[in-house]
Amino acid sequence: MAAVPPSAAAPARSPRYPHYVLAVLVSVNMFNFIDRQIVAILLQQIKQEFSATDAQLGLLTGFAFILVHALIGVPIARYADRGSRQTVIAIGVAVWSAMTAFSGAARSFVQLVLLRVGVGIGEAAGTPPSHSLISDYFPPDRRARALSVQAIGLYGGIMFGYLAAGWLGQLLGWRATMVVVGLPGLLLALLVWRTVDEPPRPAGDPVPPVREVISYLAARQSFVILLLAAALHACAGYGLAQWSPTFLVRVHGLSYAEVGATLGLLSGAMGAAGAISGGWLADRLGSRDRRWYAWIAAIAAFANVPFVALFLLLDSTALALACYAPHIFTAGLYTGPLYAMNQGLAKPRMRATAVALHLLVVGIVGGGVSPWLVGHLSDAFAAEQGSAALGSALLIVVCASSALAGLGYLAASRRLREDLSSAEAIS
C-alpha cells in the first residue's frame, strides 16, 4: 500500500480546531469500547444459547478479539506513521461497526468468534493513529491531559456499552443488541473521514523500519519495564471488566438491566474522573519531576488491590458496588500518564508504531490471557465452589496482577527522566 502524504491544501483552521479533533477522537474511542464491551453484558445469554463453557467465553472476549487486534495493529500503525492517519481511523471505525452488526446474525459459536475477530481487526486501527494525531496537535506539557481526555471515550464507551447491552439485551436479546449498537458507527466513520485533517509532519523525517523502532525503544530501559508493568495492569483491568457483569449476575443475582445500568454509570462517571485527574496530576507534578508519570501509575495499581478484593468478597451488593467505584477511578488514573510516557519516549515518526507495539504486548497478556485464565480457573474451581468460583478466579488474577504492575512502575521510574531527555534530544 502506497503512503498517502498529508494534504498540502488543507483548509485553514481556527486555534480551537485541535480541540475539535480531540472531541472526535474521544467519540472514536467511545464507539470502540461500546462495541467491545457489550459482549461482557451478553455473555450469559450467549453461554445459554450455544451451551458454551466459561473457558470458551473467555476465548470469545479474550484471544479471539485481542490476539488479532494486537497482531494486526503493528502493520496498520506502520501505514499510519507513513500516510493518512485519519483515513486509517475512518476505515477502522467502519469495519468494526459493520462486524459488530453482523455478529447478530451468527448461527454458531464459531461464527461469532470469527466475527469478533473482524471487530478486533477494525479496532486495531483506532488507538495508535489517534495517539499519534493527538501528540502532533498538543505539545508535550499538555499531552497527558489531552490523552487522558481521549481516554474519557473509553469509559464513556464502557458506560454506554453496559447501559445499551443491559437494557437492549433484556428487551430484545443479544442478537438485536449487536445490530442496534453496531450500525451508528458507520456515521462516525464518515465524520472522521470528512472533517479531521492530517497535520503536517517534519520534512525529511523518514519512517524507520520496524526493526529500528524496536531497537530504539528496547534501548530505553524505562520503556521496556513500563511495557511489562502495563501488561500486568491490563491483565487486572481486562479480567475484571470482562467478567464483573457475569459475577454480579451469578453471585449477587442482579438482572442484565440492573448490571448494565449500575456498572455503566459507575464506569462512566468514576472512570472519566480518574482519567482527567491522572492527566492533570501528571502534567502538573511532572513539570517538577517527570518520574511522577510513573509514580501516579504505581499509586493507581497498588490502590486497586484492596478495592477489588472487597468488591469480590463482600456479601452485600451495595457495599460491593461501593468498592467497585474507586476501582474504576484508579483504573482511569493511570491511562493519561502511561500513554504520555509512551509517546514521549518515541520519536515523532514512530509514535503510532510505538503504541501498536505497546498494545501488542499489553493486549496479548492483558486482553488475551486474562479473560481466558479467569474463565479457566472458574471452571476448575466450579466443582468445589459452585457460583463462588468466578469470584475466586478474579481475586487471584486481578489482585496479583495489580500488585506486580505497581512494582513495575516504581522500577521504571528510576530511568524515566534520563530516557525522556535522551528521546527529546534525538527528536
* Cα separation, 331 vs 21, whole angstroms: 25
The pLDDT-based confidence of 343 (bands split at 50, 70, 90) is confident
Q: What is the mean pLDDT of residues 410-422?
A: 87
| 86 close to 133: Cβ distance less than 8 angstroms | yes
What does the H/E/C string look like for 212-223?
A: HHHHHHHCCHHH
Burial of 203 (0-12, 13-18, 19+ CB in 10 A): exposed
- The residue whose grid cell reads 523525517 is 205
Q: According to DSSP H, which parts of 220-255 are helical?
A: 221-252
* Cα separation, 131 vs 139, whole angstroms: 13
| 174 close to 48: Cβ distance less than 8 angstroms | no
| 95 close to 121: Cβ distance less than 8 angstroms | yes
The pLDDT-based confidence of 424 (bands split at 50, 70, 90) is low
**Is 9's pLDDT higher than 50?**
no
Residue by residue, DSSP assigns 188-212 as HHHHHHHH-------TT-PPPPHHH
Report pLDDT digits (tens) over 355-397. Answer: 888 878 887 787 778 888 898 899 899 888 887 899 999 999 9
- The residue whose grid cell reads 509514580 is 295
Among the listed residues 252, 253, 268, 237, the one whose alpha carbon sits nearest the alpha carbon of residue 394: 237
What are the phi and psi torsion angles at 175 (to 5°)?
-65, -50
Domains of the chain, with CATH numbers? 17-197+206-426 (1.20.1250.20)
Report pLDDT digits (tens) over 171-226. Answer: 888 899 999 999 999 999 999 999 998 887 665 567 778 888 888 888 888 999 99
Threshold 0.75, pTM exceeds: no
Report pLDDT digits (tens) over 44-97. Answer: 888 888 988 887 887 787 666 777 777 788 888 888 888 788 999 999 999 999
